[in-house]
Amino acid sequence: MWQKFSFYDFRVIAHYLGVLMMFLAAAECVPFVVAVVLGEWQPASHYLFGMGVALIVGSLLRLILPSPGKLTPKQALAVTGFAWLALALLGCIPLYMSGHYGSMLDAVFEGMSAWTTTGCSLVQDIDHMSIADNTWRFTMQCIGGQGVVVIALSLGLFGRAVDSSLYSSEGRSEHVIPNIMQTARFIVRFSMATIIIGTILTTAACLFIGMAPVRAFFNGLWLAVASFNTGGMTSMSTGIIYYHCAPLEIVIMVLILLGSINFTLHSEVWKGHIEHFFRDIEIRTLVVWLSVILVAFVATLCAAKIYDDLPTLLRRAAFTVVAAFSSTGFQTISVNQMTTVISSGALLIIIFCMAVGGSAGSTTGGIKVLRIGVLVKELVAYIKDLLAPASARQVVMYYHVGRRPLSHDLVRANLVVLLLYGVAFLITTIVTVTFGYAAAPSMFESVSMVSNIGMSCGIIQPGMPDPLKVLYIVDMWAGRLEYVTLIALLVSIIASIRPKRRVRAR
């Protein structure tokens, strides 16, 4: 029996979406203030208009049900699912008005990419984009990286009408602290502290390469935000390659790695339980996986003979692997090199790296290494069962913030997510190929979209077909919700609007 939404449910959902739209209006104050301080008056008017639209829409939605009760799990699911879409649609208005996007669809694509921290972009002439517009792009990545619901919970925007269902609906099943609101606040505080320290270091690196102080500060801030939140957008048309700074790349990699680790494990280290960190199946799986991928990728780059010296090759290889697995999407290997110089084998390695992703409960996308670690553990246990005597019975345990039993329900849930990602990869690749693109780049781009990575072989650009843009927007949206949430939401909506069958009297 499918759960259905009642008319009251839709009113509750509308109210809390209205709360988030008003939060969007408050978030747009950041680029508005930057525009006013720097004298960018035209962008300032755009954000003033955007705030007005968000406030009007938010107020109207809240009036649908002025005093809602406590959110149920299915209502929380809908609020989270629709929130990302609504934020992308309304948040892109100032970007479209900037004149740097060929169509409203391009601006929506940019908005969805920023909120979901995918990081790919359809912006035109980005080198001359205003500081305010760039600040908004990175503000969306910052909020999206933490999670819109997490930020809202930390600010108390939902009042007391919340429970763990709203927190979990955004793909976070583990609580750093037993209290939901305190957990959200820990995530936000830890993230802000890391971004501030990262901004100081990246700004220093930008000053070192000769940037003016104001420009160095904003570039440093944007890079720190995009790195820790694994967003991947940059303010330059050539991306990270523009900076040509090894110390900056090292700082960025450290920030990316910090953002790619489960916030629960960060909390364990903060509490002094360092042994829990190194014993965790997630960390061990991540270390083994990255080591294998890095060795294989270095070997393919050596065969391609792109770089003359080994240190540069190792640095670029490490940066690419870290950016790929973390769903950050920064590229120090140009699109031309990706398509014409390195081998198809190297592309395949990066595809696998992007598909797996980082830690669960972090800012990363992809399938997640925790799921891979659990499935490998189950595979080993299954082989042991085959070789063991018929009378033998084993209880399989794994270590993830304490010892846990490896249940069949957990394995089944992980297999379902793996299957859904695989189906999404396949469908997106087939559709991309039908538009005339080669198979290898199509596969690369599809995995990049579905896993919220943002790396590109050159397919993602303003001139690509509109249906493909729409498909990629859906991929980014569904990937951020890890597919299960979105499918459950769509099924519930369809079940709600489907007419009831009449029972014939005999």
Per mean pLDDT, which range of 86-90, 364-368, 470-474 is the poorest?
Answer: 364-368
Token output for 499: 């007419």
Gyration radius (Cα) of the chain, Å: 23
DSSP 8-state secondary structure symbol assigned to residue 239: G
Shortest CA distance to 359 belongs to which of 506, 261, 212, 288?
A: 261
Mean pLDDT of the chain: 87
Q: Which residue has the higher pLDDT, 309 or 251?
A: 251
First to last CA, the chain: 25
Residue 457: CB atoms within 10 Å: 19
Q: pLDDT class for 232, splitting at 50, 70, 90?
A: confident
Torsion of CA 302, 257, 355, 468, to 10 degrees: -100
Beta bridge partners of residue 405, listed in sequence order = 397
Model pLDDT for residues 150-185, shown as the tens digit of each residue: 777 766 766 665 555 555 555 555 545 445 677 778
Confidence (pLDDT) at 496: 77
Model pLDDT for residues 403-414, shown as the tens digit of each residue: 888 888 888 988
Q: Say if CB 232 and CB 119 are below 8 A apart.
A: yes
Sign (positive/negative) of CA torsion 246, 247, 248, 252?
positive
pLDDT above 50 for 371: yes
Beta bridge partners of residue 119, listed in sequence order = none
Token output for 103: 């169509």
Q: Indicate the residue type of 374.
A: V
Confidence (pLDDT) at 506: 47
Confidence (pLDDT) at 1: 55
For the segment 388-395, the average pLDDT, to the nearest whole number, is 72
**Separation between Cα atoms, residue 278 and residue 269, nearest integer Å:** 10
Confidence (pLDDT) at 461: 92
Confidence (pLDDT) at 503: 46
For the segment 213-230, the average pLDDT, to the nearest whole number, is 95
Shortest CA distance to 347 belongs to which of 456, 459, 230?
A: 456
**Separation between Cα atoms, residue 150 and residue 143, nearest integer Å:** 9
The pTM of this model reads 0.91
pLDDT above 60 for 120: yes
pLDDT above 90 for 145: no
> What is the percentage of the chain residues whose pLDDT exceeds 70?
92
Q: Say if CB 417 and CB 484 are below 8 A apart.
A: yes
Per mean pLDDT, which range of 115-119, 172-176, 267-271 is the poorest?
Answer: 172-176
Sign (positive/negative) of CA torsion 245, 453, 258, 116?
positive
For the segment 199-216, the average pLDDT, to the nearest whole number, is 95
Backbone angles phi, psi at 405, to 5 degrees: -75, 145
